[in-house]
Structure 1
Amino acid sequence: MKIRSKCTCPLEITHDILKGKWKTVILWQLKYRGKASLSQLERDIKGISQKMLLEQLKELKKFGLVDKKTFEGYPLKVEYFLTDNRGQKIIKALEIMQEVGKEYLNECNENIDTN
């Protein structure tokens, strides 16, 4: 992932960090699960491949939104979670985005002609 080197607004940086189909969905799943293994996230997020999930988690980790804990032993166990600083902070923005999405869906349903 590439972050622009020059920007006119800090929102551009946030957009670069979150852009893509899956990052906000991954963050939202971690909000509800608290901690999740790769296989749990893969089950919960319909349509994402393991390769894409790993790539997105790596990028979210790089920018301090997600971290992971690796447990010793066999089989290998890894848990992903939101970081206390940026990860939890970005959830506030996602909650607002969720509300806007709900409002839009409600409006669309009201405008659907059922006749």
Structure 2
Amino acid sequence: MIIDNDITKKYRCPVEYTLEAIGGKWKSLILWSLAQDGVKRYGEIKKSINGITHKMLSQQLKDLESKGLIHREQYNQIPPKVEYWLTKKGQTLVPILEAMCQWGSENM
């Protein structure tokens, strides 16, 4: 079994772990947006993902950050500025996201 160090949850297989990390309706879209454009502010991410609510985006960003897939940098200025980008661990998902994009393009 695989153990996630963050929450000591046991997984039956690596696919289950991967789906927990990037599965769901929004996480892959957030990661794809950051992979395409690099550093983005919260509002830019929100605009790039049609239909996501502020609450859901905030929750998903926190979850992706807790898994070490994205980095959040807060700049203490007025107005407040927060930027997000993929970590090295998050960048390892880009080939998977690209494959998903290609598959979707070929099968839509």
| Cross-structure match for 2:54 | 50
Moved more, 75-84 or 4-13: 4-13
| Cross-structure match for 2:102 | 99
Residue 79 of structure 1: SS of its match in structure 2?
Answer: strand
Unaligned runs of 5+ in 1: 106-115
The two structures have a TM-score, normalised by structure 2, of 0.88
More strand by share: 2
Residue 92 of structure 2: SS of its match in structure 1?
Answer: helix
Q: Is the 8 A contact 1:26 1:41 kept in 2?
A: yes
Query: Kindly, what percent of the aligned residue pairs are identical?
Result: 40
Residue 87 of structure 2 aligns to which amino acid in structure 1?
Answer: T
1:68-79 paired onto structure 2 within 5 Å? 68-79=72-83
Unaligned runs of 5+ in 2: 1-6
Residue 37 of structure 1 aligns to which amino acid in structure 2?
Answer: R
| Cross-structure match for 2:66 | 62
Residue 31 of structure 2: SS of its match in structure 1?
Answer: helix
Residue 71 of structure 1 aligns to which amino acid in structure 2?
Answer: Y
Between the aligned partners of 1:64 and 1:6, the Cα distance in structure 2 is 18
Between the aligned partners of 2:12 and 2:69, the Cα distance in structure 1 is 23
Total equivalences in the alignment: 102
Cα deviation for residue 4 of structure 1 reads: 8.4
Structure 1 segments, 4+ long, off by >6 Å, are none
Coordinate RMSD, CA, aligned: 1.4
| Cross-structure match for 1:112 | none
